[in-house]
Amino acid sequence: MPDGHQEVVPALEFEDAGLSFGPRNLWSGLSLRVEPGEFVAVLGANGSGKTSLVRTVLGLQRLSSGRLRVSGRPARRGAADIGYVPQQRRIDPLTPMRARDVVGQGLDGHRWGLGRPAGRAARIAAALEAVDASAYAQMPVGLLSGGEQQRVRVAQALVADPRLLLCDEPLLSLDLRSQRTITALVDRRRRQEGTAVVFVTHEINPVLPYVDRVLYLADGRFRVGPVEEVFTSATLSGLYGVPVEVVRTNGRILVAGIPQADESQHHDSAATAGVPHV
């Protein structure tokens, strides 16, 4: 560039993107640029296309129209630029793996080939330290609490030093304290390292202190903007086509009147076949 400054490549970029399954349009005309260090929350009712959006970013689902790029390149399976944090699922207590073994899967044969990179042990230790999980690095992962297991999953997502941290409902089944811990850890990473965060969640309140912008999906439509612009009665009523009430109280946002879709009728399954995680 003429001024000598290098153009910043967005961590994630949708350009006029659309996704449909047969006659059902999940979303179309979506243009979204997520900059390094930005925290974007993705919200919407069941069946709105949140998980399908995650699958497109992971290279597991092709767009019906438009373009999607991760760090300036087309989305593809196993991209090292993406760290993926899945939903919290309890791990069998008999699983014969330590916490550090799970984190190591983010570096070696589980995701990026069979070779083991130089400095592997140091990188695993650093990732565990970054999420305050060093104390149980040697413990069987199945014996950890749900919140501790989710810390380990965050460490697994961070160990390869991704530019984009993609979190798919990572707070489900966690208690309030663990929810706060996980969101604070994710926020700390993006502030310290400039990692972009796309955080799919069912409600805004757990991420309210951290989020820069919201992408809200509803009935084939969407709205992108700051929380104060998206979470209004007028905006959500317009998206859903029915009266929706938004109330702010004691630092929380309460929403009433959103119609709940029948998940069985939609192609937005929580299953992410081919996405590696423990």
Tell me the C-alpha distance between 236 and 219, whole Å. 11
Asked if the model's pLDDT at residue 262 lies above 50, the reply is no
| 23: Cα within 13 Å, side-chain hemisphere | 1
Asked if the model's pLDDT at residue 187 lies above 70, the reply is yes
Chain position carrying tokens 């991704």:
162
Q: Averaged over 94-116, what is the pLDDT?
A: 75
Report which of 185, 154, 176, 180 is spatially closest to residue 167, judged by C-alpha positions: 154
3-state secondary structure labels for all residues of 226-249: CHHHHCCHHHHHHHHCCCCEEEEE
- CATH number for 12-93+166-265: choose from 3.90.740.10, 3.40.50.12140, 3.30.930.10, 3.40.50.300: 3.40.50.300
Asked if the model's pLDDT at residue 273 lies above 80, the reply is no
> Whole-prediction pTM value?
0.87
Q: Where are the beta strands (DSSP E) in 49-156?
A: 65-70, 73-74, 82-85
Q: Averaged over 115-127, what is the pLDDT?
A: 82
Tell me the C-alpha distance between 122 and 27, whole Å. 42
Please provide the average confidence, as pLDDT, over all residues in the chain.
87
